[in-house]
Amino acid sequence: MTIRRKLHLSNILMIVIPVCIIMLTGMLCITFLRNHYFDSLEDMFEYDNGLYSAQSLTFSYWGDFEDDPETAVAGLQGELAGMGFHVYVEKDGRRFSSNLTEEDEECLEQMDVRESLERCDSLTLTSGGSSLLLQSQEINGTVWKLIAVRPASEDGEGFSGSYLRSYFLLLFGILGSVTLGIIVVTNFFLTHWVSHSILKPLKLLQEGASRIEEGDLDTEFTDIPKNEIGEVCRDFDNMRERLKEATLARIQYENYRRELLAGISHDLRTPLTSIKGYTDGLIEGIADTEEKRQRYYRAIRLRAGDMEALADNLSSFTRLETEELRVSPVEWDLSEFVKRLLEDYSVEAEKKNILFLNEVPEKGIRLLLDETEMKRVFQNFFENSVKYRTSAQSVIRLWCRRQEDAVEIGVSGDGPGVPEEELTQIFESFYRGDRSRTQAGNGSGLGLAVAKRIVEAHGGTIWAVNGDGSRKDGQERRTCNHGNGQGLTIIIRLPLL
């Protein structure tokens, strides 16, 4: 059963059941009290003893005699005739109007009331089934006298039975019918209004669910009502938004995974092919001198190192994906940390022809650092500068800029830089500026993503700018740009103690 039908049925039953109970109770009461009350009341208003009704009706017409006596008399004669009475009217002792019949005259003679009619101002009499009514009234100095006679043989003109049944019960029936009709019409419109306020939002939910089933997550809900069901619609729309975000994230993640597999395949194949070639050269005797053999050995070791670095990045990425990255920061002076970093990397710097310019102040900047993890961050920056440099030597400048509650640490290189639209993407997993992947040994694109997670684990942020980002006025310094590019600066912002 639909909600609309249930609403109609429930509203109807809310009316019908109480009405039926009231009617049943009323019938039982009438049946019980009929002999004690109703029959006596009805007898009082019966037409064969209808003086009470005729007297009340006559009193109601006296007020009309002042304005238009002819019309008042005609109306009174008409209504009393319906009750079986004929009327004689006098004005100041003279006949004004009469519809008495010979039978009415004979009835008066039989009742022997001529003398009483002349002497009395008001009289009601019932004799032998006949009824007599006399009333007098002075209006504006004029004396009106009204005599109404109902012979015993008269049954009324077009009416019979009980005055109570004819008027009161008929009135009650009309009022009951009108009331029932009003209730039914009101019920119809209220049910339509309530069902519309319920069914319209439900239809929105149905349409939204159908769109989601078809894969449409972009269409927003409109015309949401401000009620409880509207709140459900808003929650459903919020769920659609979250589902859309989750779907986009899943699609992006799948794209990243595909890029990762492609990158790993390429980055593994390149050193493996190189190692295989050098090994074949050694086996086949192509390296026929000790000098060549030593060069082949060094090349094999270098390619093995590339594979080891790839494995380390994959391990770090796996830890990041499973939320297992934990840092153990201790208090450091920034200048001491940078000195330790450059000392540990001095052998690699000499081997890879890197010139460091340390512009970090001697002391006074203290912060919490996990030495091992933060060294990995900076070493990744150094490795990227070497991988993407355009000259034989890399010049890397380290600087810092102190703020009120934080310090910005910058690493400015002299490489080719990054297109502006890709500056925010280089910290994404699997991103590589070398989209064609034509350069061997350029990595899998995980290093900066790992660095970002490590910095965030320290409560910091990281971003990149082209050129030298150390100037407060936003102007770029070019002192490190010994290559052909504009250089790239990685900036880390960490909280101070």
pLDDT tens, position by position, 386-404: 888 888 888 999 999 998 8
**Is pLDDT at 133 greater than 80 in this prediction?**
yes
Q: What is the pLDDT of residues 263-282, one digit of tens each?
A: 677 777 778 888 888 898 88
C-alpha distances (whole Å) from 403 to each of 333, 464, 492, 493, 496 are: 16, 18, 13, 10, 9
C-alpha to C-alpha distance for 403 and 59, rounded to whole angstroms: 104
Q: Which of 137, 155, 153, 157 is nearest to 145 (CA)?
A: 137
Tokens of 115: 């003398």
Q: State percent of the chain over pLDDT 90.
A: 19
> Averaged over 329-343, what is the pLDDT?
93
Nearest to 159 by CA among 215, 78, 225, 98: 78
How many C-alpha atoms does 162 have within 13 Å on its Cβ side? 13
Closest CA to 317 of 426, 447, 435: 447
Triad 19, 199, 224: Cα angle to 5°: 130
Q: Give the residue, 185 or 300, on which the prediction is more confident.
A: 300
Q: In terms of DSSP bridges, do strands 330-333 and 366-369 run parallel, antiparallel, or are they unpaired?
A: antiparallel
Task: Output the DSSP codes for 321-389.
Answer: HTT------EEEEHHHHHHHHHHHTHHHHHHTTEEEEE---SS--EEEE-HHHHHHHHHHHHHHHHHT-
What's phi and psi for 329, nearest 5 deg?
-75, 145
State the pLDDT at residue 482.
Answer: 36
Least confident of 10-24, 42-56, 308-322, 374-388: 42-56
pLDDT at 153: 59
d(CA 152, CA 100): 14
Residue 91, exposed/middle/buried by CB under 10 A (0-12, 13-18, 19+)? Answer: middle
Contact partners, residue 56, CB within 8 Å, separation at least 6: none
- Residues 139-173: tens digit of each pLDDT: 888 999 999 998 875 444 433 445 555 555 666 67
Question: Where residue 234 falls among pLDDT bands split at 50, 70, 90?
Answer: confident
Other Cβ atoms less than 10 A from the Cβ of 336: the count is: 14
Least confident span in 118-127, 248-257, 290-299: 248-257
